[in-house]
Amino acid sequence: MPALDSTTLITPELIAAHGITPQEYQHIRDILGRDPNITELGMFSVMWSEHCSYKNSKPILKLFSKMNSELPHQEHLLVKPGQENAGIVDIGDGFAVCFKIESHNHPSAIEPFQGAATGVGGILRDIFTMGARPILLMNSLRFGDLKEPVSQRLFRGVVAGIAHYGNCMGIPTLGGDIYFDASYEGNPLVNAMALGIIKKDEIVRGAAHGVGNPVYYVGATTGRDGLGGAAFASKELSEQSHEDRPAVQVGDPFMEKLLMEACLELLRTDALVGMQDMGAAGLTCAGCETASRASTGVEIDLAKVPRREPGMTPYETLLSESQERMLVIVKKGKEKEVEAIFTKWDLHAVKIGEVTRGDKYRVLDEGKLAAEIPAKALADDGPVYKREEERPAYLAEAQKLDLAKISEPRDFNAVLLKLLSHPSIASKVWVWQQYDHMVRTDTVFYPGHDAALIRIKGTQKGIAVSTDCNSLYVYLDPFEGGKIAVAEAARNVVCSGARPIGMTNCLNFGNPMKPEIFWQFHSAVSGIIESCKALEVPVTGGNVSFYNESPQGAIYPTPTIGMVGLLENIEKRVPSAFQDEGDIIFLAGETFNELGGSHYLMIEHGLKQGLPPRLDLAREKALQQFILAAADGKKLASCHDLSEGGLAVALAECCIKSVDGLGAEVQGLEGVSKHQQGLRTDALFFGESQSRVVISVKPRHQKDIQHLAQKQGVFLCEIGKVGGDALILGGRIRLPVGEMVKLFENMIHNIMERK
């Protein structure tokens, strides 16, 4: 592309190349009362891209806000979705948590290491921009079949990129969820979540209040890297996508560490007015959003922006997505104090402009006007589309499943071993040993638990976090799949003893212009909302990632949920794995003949078919309340959610992850079968019926547990005892724990380190 400068003629071709439709162009002319110049056209194109404007998803995302407004305890939601860079929830005692999940899928597909690294960098800036200190990171990752060398390359690069950035920042990465499926071939998903802690009265807004207040540019210099990344993220990946490599940014976690410390130090002074990171759409977005939120104007001069190379045009400077940069608005008269802090950290801090009267984002270049746009129009008045929806044709065929034609396996041991060694189920230790998951000395539950758990120093509290989404369920039934994603993420958090207090989501879908994709999107969001309502969990915001398609087609619809729970007393935490010989094992929740969408059906029978399990939200809620009551009374030795691979995999994991390799003798399954007439043995062992957990309790708590379950109306069945060195399950399974450990722990390592 030739350099775009003030002499460039605006042609219909140039407008189209910016992804702007003729109608949108007319709208721009109406806003300005004239034709835009090339710089302004570029600014509109990035701000009105799907990535920044949510133009295709807004009508659906509004449903989250509507749902939030109908929940009890509104007052705990301190910053709501869409208001700021990240949502904030009150956790009591003057503290709050600030969290968000965001995608970096397309950059990671092109350049996995930098794509994933800058994804981490971006989500961390969203957190400390709010004044919160980031205290943990999680990741939700999807790759193609791990047998494929290309999947291995992407997986290795993404993991190393995440490790590089998070480790250097000194923020523990506590795992998350990882699945491998052919639908992600060529379009991996990299969703990064961060959570920070903040004092309630120290929340920083990304708003440019106070006419005359100086606007500072701080952090790294601006280069030509990442030009138009937001627009790049808003189209499908194709064979030519590697030509977009210049749109992938390069991260410098050391710079971001300095930036974070300096910004948090600035927060402790009274000089700060507002902060906004320069992420997607860079200086364009930061300038117009801060002005728009405060209903003020902002004027900057690009000649003052520290640039990496000479000769950068206003167009390039405004659209650059160079990393590790912030826009900071401070009180007039406090400039010296502010500059001293950034000097201490050896960072650029340059006054590039000030807050002005009116509503314009005015951009000068050495005093000469380069662009002038009403800030609100640019930031908030982008086009909004109600896209067409149509029930996908594939569903009719995919949902068909005749269980009579599915034969029960002969060798249940072999099936369990196959499940345990599937990369989606097998231990991710190869991944999280590359992440510093202990720095900050707050990590109480390491990766591998149902939820990560950290303590909050200086309080009794703990924060539990889980990310989750079974996208095969969502593919087979978007509404039910969306419901389950929330329920399961909440259940994971509850298993650790924590009460869910809020969630963020990253909605990864294909091309929204296709009515079938939009139907998936709308249905999945409706399912998410259904569960949030029932479980009373507010949505604090998140991110939409469309156009996740490769030449092979769209990915499975993947609305990833990041669930956050609060544990009032960290001493009441509940681990996932078995603890002591002699503890009694119970299965809580009902088991049905549900094999549709199960990993058993996929791995043993080669079928990705059927309706996924049904989720009864009343049952789910009762189960979660039962667990929380039992945890609060310190009646639980362990609690583990049943998910992929069902009861057999859950029990195996309780043994494998126990400190001493404890076995279990589980011979009491008649109670479960009797409760459900005609229950198939494979459904009992490997089915994925919802709202179920395996718990273990000390014999002295047996009666209390039964009483608590009865009180909540939860079906509870005593099925066995912890002990021995093998998992013995109903006459069909007998496997030494050592053998399972070896397989489970080494599978991914063996694939990745095969020389």
Partner 1 sequence: MKAAVIVFPGSNCDTDCFHALKDVAKVPTECVWHKERNLPKVDLVVIPGGFSYGDYLRTGAIARFSPVMESVIQHAQSGRAVIGICNGFQILLEAGLLPGAMLRNKTLEFVCKHTWIRTEENLTIFTGQMNPGEILCVPVAHGEGNYYCDEDTLKSLHDHSQVVFRYSSEDGKLGEEFNPNGSKDHIAGIVNKKKNVLGMMPHPERSSEDLLGSSDGRKIFESILNALE
String of contacts with partner 1 for each residue 151-190, x by CB under 8 A? ---------x--x---xxxx--------------------
Stretch 257-276 residues interacting with partner 1 (CB under 8 A): 257-258
What is the amino acid identity at position 147? K
Any idea how long the chain is? Answer: 755
CB of 434 to partner 1, least distance (A): 5
Torsion of CA 120, 122, 128, 134, to 10 degrees: -10
Query: Of 74-82, 306-314, 344-352, 530-538, which segment contacts partner 1 by CB under 8 A?
Result: 344-352
CB of 146 to partner 1, least distance (A): 17
Is 449 noted as a catalytic residue in this protein? no
The residue among 304 and 440 lying less far from partner 1, judged by its C-beta, is: 440
Q: What angle do CA 547, 139, 647 make, to 5 degrees?
A: 105
> Rg (Cα) of the chain, in Å, rounded?
26
Catalytic residue, from 51, 522, 599, 701: name it: 51
Q: Does 746 bind partner 1 (CB under 8 A)?
A: no
The residue among 151 and 443 lying less far from partner 1, judged by its C-beta, is: 443
The residue among 429 and 595 lying less far from partner 1, judged by its C-beta, is: 429
Contact 623, 588 (CB under 8 A): yes
CB of 563 to partner 1, least distance (A): 23
Q: What angle do CA 110, 113, 117 make, to 5 degrees?
A: 110
Size of the site for partner 1 (CB under 8 A): 32
Catalytic residue, from 27, 73, 76, 104: name it: 104
CB of 165 to partner 1, least distance (A): 11
Q: How buried is 311 (Cβ within 10 angstroms: 0-12 exposed, 13-18 middle, 19+ buried)?
A: exposed
The residue among 252 and 480 lying less far from partner 1, judged by its C-beta, is: 252
Which among 540, 573, 546, 575 is positioned nearest to 558, based on CA atoms? 546
Q: What whole-number distance in Å separates Cα of residue 443 and Cα of residue 23?
A: 52
Stretch 403-462 residues interacting with partner 1 (CB under 8 A): 432-441, 443-444, 446, 455, 457
CA–CA distances in Å: residue 451 to residues 119, 189, 224, 237, 484:
22, 21, 40, 33, 16
The residue among 408 and 725 lying less far from partner 1, judged by its C-beta, is: 725
Stretch 225-254 residues interacting with partner 1 (CB under 8 A): 252-254
- Map residue 598 onto helix, strand or coil: coil
E strand or H helix that includes residue 343: helix 335-344
Q: Alpha helix locations (H) across 347-449?
A: 375-380, 394-398, 412-420, 429-432
Q: What whole-number distance in Å separates Cα of residue 258 and Cα of residue 274?
A: 19
The residue among 253 and 409 lying less far from partner 1, judged by its C-beta, is: 253
The residue among 258 and 563 lying less far from partner 1, judged by its C-beta, is: 258
CB of 125 to partner 1, least distance (A): 17
Q: Does 494 bind partner 1 (CB under 8 A)?
A: no
The residue among 163 and 566 lying less far from partner 1, judged by its C-beta, is: 163
| DSSP per-residue codes, 562-579 | EEEEEES-GGG---SS--
Q: Does 344 bind partner 1 (CB under 8 A)?
A: yes
Which letter does DSSP use for residue 459 in this model? S
CB of 440 to partner 1, least distance (A): 6
CB of 737 to partner 1, least distance (A): 18
Is 51 noted as a catalytic residue in this protein? yes
CB of 139 to partner 1, least distance (A): 15
Contact 284, 46 (CB under 8 A): yes
For CA atoms 243, 247, 248, 252, the dihedral sign is: positive
Which among 179, 61, 71, 691 is positioned nearest to 474, based on CA atoms? 179
Just list the catalytic residues.
51, 104
Q: Which positions touch partner 1 (CB under 8 A)?
A: 160, 163, 167-170, 252-255, 257-258, 344-346, 432-441, 443-444, 446, 455, 457, 570, 753
